Amino acid sequence: MAETPIDFRTAPDRYRHWKLALENGVAYLTMDVNEDAGLRPGYKLKLNSYDLGVDIELADAVQRLRFEHPEIGAVVIRSQRDRIFCSGANINMLGLSTHDHKVNFCKFTNETRLAIEDASQHSDQTYICSINGIAAGGGYELALACEQILLADDGSSAGSLPELPLLAVLPGTGGLTRLVDKRLVRRDHADFFCTTAEGVRGKRARDWRLVDTLIPPSKLAEETKKIAEGVAAKSKRPKDTKGIALPPVERTIDGDTIRYAHVTVEIDREQRVARFRVNGPAAAPPADAAAIHAQGAGFWPLALARQFDDAMMHLRLNETEIGTWVLQSQGDAALVEAYDALLTKEQSHWLVREIVLYWKRTLKRLDVSSRSLIALVEPGSCFAGTLFELVLAADRSYMLDGVFEGSNLPAATVRLTPMNFGPYPMGNGLTRLGTRFLAEPDKIDELKDEIGKPIDAEAADELGLVTFTPDDIDWEDEVRLVLEERAGFSPDGLIGMEANLRFAGPETMETKIFARLSAWQNWIFQRPNATGPEGALKLYGTGKQSKYDRKRA
């Protein structure tokens, strides 16, 4: 029997693992994992360990706090359990999971941690972690995503990354990179920390930068509240403004077709292709930020981002054999441009800022999805500004030169807007145009002269904005060949190639996390030392000693 598809849609009244409370400008996210409510049968989520279901709720809370609660300036992550903060990813769950589920789980968890950091850095909603016991593995990695780490100074509360000594794997959500790149822990101290299963506590943890503040256990709750309220008071978020509700994303799944209001995904299982068709707005944009607020979650850019994001996550976890995503659009490019103009004009408004930041995160999720991305720019397309970022994110793009025989649609065009020149950076810190033209940085200034102009296939080719511009005679064959070619290659090889080619230019903490994660997961997670019959991940908790292949490869 097929497994029930994983659904990423949830809400606070459905949380099984987190409690959310709001007080004096501070949100308290309290971890209280229901050990009997795992996403799949076969394991118990003991000791505040987590699986993907726990992180889906956390990601939802992080998102909701940004949109629904502009008055919140600080978020405290803490535990309901006595002497246990979080013991990390559930080991039995990992042992039972397929390789692709483990990788997708860790990738989503990474994206959630990055969303926490993004909220602290760009939304003035600062995250603080209050540790009342053991924060092990992914539990300490959750703390690392916060801007401040408070630790109970009780002789037993500690942070640890025990994956190597206990499981023969490595921290899966950026722990190693954040230690040395974010918290600036000395390499020798980090080496000791990551090879010591019991972790580090007290004064040593503070002196080594593993935590920021030590607090007597009897005062942990009181001091955490005081610190968080102080941070919240300094936040520039509007304290007297109402947020907007984020209702469930509505979708229908009919066989191999997934329908949302603004996105349709059609799956071709024979070709192993999913075709995304994004619909442009049906009406002109509202007048100003107040009107955007009135439309709330129905405002086209926000509604589209939520739907596109949900579609990506559904395909990532539930359709792992669909290896190519074809990106198409239809609608009025002038209307898309008008919405971009509104986002640019109202960029200082808190809600508009959050919508743009959400698009940034959604596009980043597309960048790191392990799928071949092919964009098709056809008559009737509306790839302008924000939507043109989908074309720039693609591994290849095809734009029809001319029109289709028998069609009354005008020739395809694309448009640049100011949104293509800064608001949506990739993980490498550059715009997609900046990454595309690393060898020709002056090209970016030249392209700014094209803002607002309809650019036809010949001009788009000359400007370097698309890959190929076949005419009507060759279009069908060229598209068919690229899809057949992609379906014929090794998926493993394609994942490695695409991930290497997409992130040219400077390396950042974010690109390090994803690049190194991809490397170790697709190797260490499949090595017998970790996952073989006598590997550490399989034997954990049995009392048996793992047998390692001692060769260094």
As given in the structure block, the two tokens for residue 25 are 């400008």
For residue 298, count CB atoms less than 10 angstroms from its CB and return exposed for 0-12, middle for 13-18, buried for 19 or more. exposed
Q: How far is CA 288 from the centre of its chain?
A: 29
Confidence label for 1 from pLDDT (cuts 50, 70 and 90): very low
Alpha carbons 82 and 61: distance in angstroms, whole number: 23
CATH 3.90.950.20 correct for 253-501: no
Alpha carbons 79 and 18: distance in angstroms, whole number: 9
> For the chain, where do the domains classified as CATH 3.90.226.10 start and end?
12-234, 253-501
Exposure letters 471-500 (e unless 16+ CB within 10 A, then b): eeeebeebbeebbeebbeeebeebbeebbe
The pLDDT value recorded for residue 541 is: 82
The whole-number average pLDDT for the span 517-531 is 76
Q: Is residue 397's pLDDT more than 70?
A: yes
Residues marked active site are found at 141, 163
For residue 204, count CB atoms less than 10 angstroms from its CB and return exposed for 0-12, middle for 13-18, buried for 19 or more. middle
The pLDDT value recorded for residue 539 is: 83
**Lowest mean per-residue pLDDT among 114-128, 210-224, 495-509:** 495-509
The predicted-structure confidence for 261-279, as pLDDT tens digits, reads as follows 999 999 999 999 999 999 9
Confidence label for 521 from pLDDT (cuts 50, 70 and 90): low
Q: Is residue 549's pLDDT more than 90?
A: no
DSSP conformational letter for 131: E
12-234 topology per CATH: 2-enoyl-CoA Hydratase; Chain A, domain 1 (3.90.226)
Alpha carbons 304 and 402: distance in angstroms, whole number: 29
Residue whose token pair is 């949900």: 310
The pLDDT value recorded for residue 169 is: 87
Q: How many CB atoms lie within 10 A of CB 531?
A: 20
For residue 195, count CB atoms less than 10 angstroms from its CB and return exposed for 0-12, middle for 13-18, buried for 19 or more. exposed
What pTM was estimated for this model as a whole? 0.96
**Lowest mean per-residue pLDDT among 112-126, 378-392, 509-523:** 509-523
Confidence label for 177 from pLDDT (cuts 50, 70 and 90): very high
Inter-residue contact 417 to 452 (CB < 8 Å): yes
The whole-number average pLDDT for the span 292-305 is 98
Inter-residue contact 367 to 426 (CB < 8 Å): yes
